[in-house]
Amino acid sequence: MVDQNGVLRGKRYPLRALDKLLSGGARLPLSLCNLDVWGRDIESSPLVFASGDRDGCCAWTGRGPVPVTWLEHTSALVPLTLSHDDGRPFLGDPRRVLESVNARFAAAGLTPVVAVELEFYLTVVADGIPLPPHSPVTGRPLPPDSALPLSELEHFDAFLSDVYRACELQGIALDTALAETGAGQFELNLLHVADPLRAADDAILFKHLVRGVARRHGLVASFMAKPYADKPGSGMHVHLSMLDGAGRNVFDNGTDTGSAALLGAVAGVLDGLEPCAALFAPHLNSYRRLCAGSHAPTRVAWGYENRTAALRIPGGPAEAKRIEHRVAGADANPYLVLAAVLGACLHGLQRGLRPPAPVSGNAYDAGSALLPRRWQQALDLFDGAPLVREILPADFVAMYRACKQQEIDTFAEHVSAFELSSYLEVV
């Protein structure tokens, strides 16, 4: 199963136990959902000592078993999700959180269609420091700032081909691959699916397999939002459209502008950007990516064919009218990102909200509100926002708040090497 930080957690079983796993016979502690990024219990969590650290039932998601081909001996993953003993979904499980939001769309007769784009860096790590890899073909350093070079795709063909093969075996519909501007940075796009849970499952499995395949090639794949201070960050862009009961895209009215439903969805998602920033940027490092002039958004703004805005309405055929949400980092949990985006979208649709005017040109210079620039600021907004309480389960909100506060407090207790070099013999 997947914890709040998007980390896979579970057990290793022999193959003969497969029937037990598929029939819901496995059990795991509910507290596994509520661990900090170092894998430690949350000190204030009622899921640990106050409840005796009790187990929940593991329900099979219906996916897989999916082959894991990058280990020495081929094995398989069985994706699970947690329930209480009486069968109720455990709403601390991020997959269950997204499931609860998705159910509200079904009740409204709507089906979200979602695609996820993920950026990551291939690195080599020396003394704990990531470095750009050299070309496996020429042995020379990669161009430091080259946009979409085909040569880089060719040089890493063996790695990329193995990723595509692993995705095919796991049932992940992978589309295009491109070499991004940073040396060793790639973006791989997943195809649109009319099932947000499937889209988030694909994204989680994809991140896991990319790391595994990279290890087989002697590399380290990182989905950190900003592994290099002087290089572009890595994002997780979400493309979203909406089908009605007849299978029609409700964002399409045959015009470039899009329908009233599109504008209502844009308004709702804009309303959710600040209160849900702690989900889109869940780590200390996440906020290094959200800086002006970096192709990562900094303001609550939207626009048509505008990559400087937080929300972009791509061009193309009217029937493919959709929203591209560009705020989340690649380090975010796909289940929670989709839950926040979809929940805010439904908020705007059901209330008939209208957004401000779209931004033309440079959104970094727009007069709209700034996205949170500090982790504590984002967490405080998340904890107190009525919209968050409307779209996300209360138990999850409390668990997430406690998890992130423990991480913030832990980082505050550590003195960095840069602090020491700046102050030790100076002040």
Residue range 57-89, pLDDT digits in tens = 999 999 989 999 999 988 999 999 999 999 999
pLDDT tens digits, one per residue of 147-173? 777 888 899 999 999 999 999 999 999
pLDDT in tens, 389-427: 999 999 999 999 999 999 999 999 999 999 999 999 999
Q: Are residues 182 and 117 in the same domain?
A: yes
Angle (CA) 112 118 119, round 5°: 160
Give this prediction's pTM: 0.96
For position 367, what pLDDT does the model report?
A: 76
- pLDDT for the residue 116: 97
Distance CA 164, CA 41 (A): 36
Q: Per-residue pLDDT for 228 more than 90?
A: yes
Q: What are the pLDDT digits (tens) for 270-325?
A: 999 999 999 999 999 999 999 888 889 999 999 999 999 999 999 999 899 999 99
> By C-alpha distance, which of 101, 82, 79 is closest to 92?
82
Question: What's the total number of domains in the chain?
Answer: 2
Q: CATH number for the domain including 316?
A: 3.30.590.10
Pairing of β 311-313 and β 302-304: parallel
36 and 165 in a single domain? The answer is no
Q: What percent of the chain has pLDDT over 90?
A: 88
Same domain (yes/no): 147, 80: no
Residue 344 in contact with residue 272, Cβ under 8 Å? yes
Decide: 117 and 236 in contact? Cβ < 8 Å.
Answer: yes
Helices 94-107 and 196-216, packing angle to 10 deg: 150
Residue 370, in any domain of the structure: yes
User: Where does a domain end: 92, 122, 151?
Assistant: 92
- Name the token pair of 77: 């993953």
Task: Let me know: does 172 contact 190? Beta carbons within 8 Å.
Answer: yes
Task: Note whether 77 and 50 are same-domain residues.
Answer: yes
Per residue in 73-98, is it b (16+ CB within 10 Å) or e — as a string? eeeebbbbbbbeeeeebbbbbbbbbb
- Let me know whether 189 and 331 are in one domain: yes
Range of the domain at 27: 15-92
Residue 121 lies in a domain: yes
Query: Which residues neighbour 196 within 8 Å (Cβ) at sequence distance 6 or greater?
Result: 98, 101, 102, 112, 114, 338, 342
Q: What is the mean pLDDT of the segment spanning 29-41?
A: 96
CB 190 within 8 A of CB 203: yes
Report if residue 8 sits inside a domain: no
Residues 223 and 331 in one domain: yes
pLDDT at 141 > cutoff 90: no
Measured CA to CA, the distance from residue 179 to residue 391 in angstroms comes to: 36
Residue 27 belongs to some domain of the structure: yes
Residue 295's pLDDT is what? 84
Domain identity same for 55 and 152: no
- Tell me, what's the pLDDT at 344? 98
Same-domain check for residues 243 and 165: yes
Strand boundaries in 132-248, DSSP class E: 174-179, 185-190, 220-222, 236-243
pLDDT at position 88, please? 95
Does 85 share its domain with 124? no
Residue where one domain finishes, among candidates 92, 121, 155: 92
Enclosing H/E stretch for 97: helix 94-107
Model confidence pLDDT, tens digit, residues 100-119: 999 999 999 999 999 999 99
pLDDT tens for 233-271 read: 999 999 999 999 999 999 999 999 999 999 999 999 999
Structure tokens, 154: 């060719």
Residue 3 lies in a domain: no
Helix intervals (H) in 233-316: 260-273, 277-280, 286-289
Shared domain for 181 and 294, answered yes or no, is yes
Answer yes or no: do 170 and 255 share one domain: yes
Residue 318 is assigned to a structural domain of this protein: yes
pLDDT level of residue 337 (50, 70, 90 thresholds):
very high
Q: Per the domain annotation, does 286 fall within a domain?
A: yes
Tokens 């009790």 belong to 54
The answer to whether residue 7 is domain-embedded is no
Q: Which of 50, 65, 92 is the last residue of a domain?
A: 92
Based on the fold, state whether residues 386 and 278 are members of the same structural domain. Answer: yes
Are 22 and 78 contacting, i.e. CB atoms less than 8 angstroms apart?
Answer: yes
Distance of alpha carbon 58 from the chain centroid: 23
**3-state secondary structure at position 75:** strand
For residue 67, the one-letter residue type is P
Q: What is the CA radius of gyration of the chain?
A: 21
Residue corresponding to tokens 């993920």: 118
> Using one digit for the tens of pLDDT, what is the confidence trace for 357-383?
999 999 999 878 999 999 999 999 999
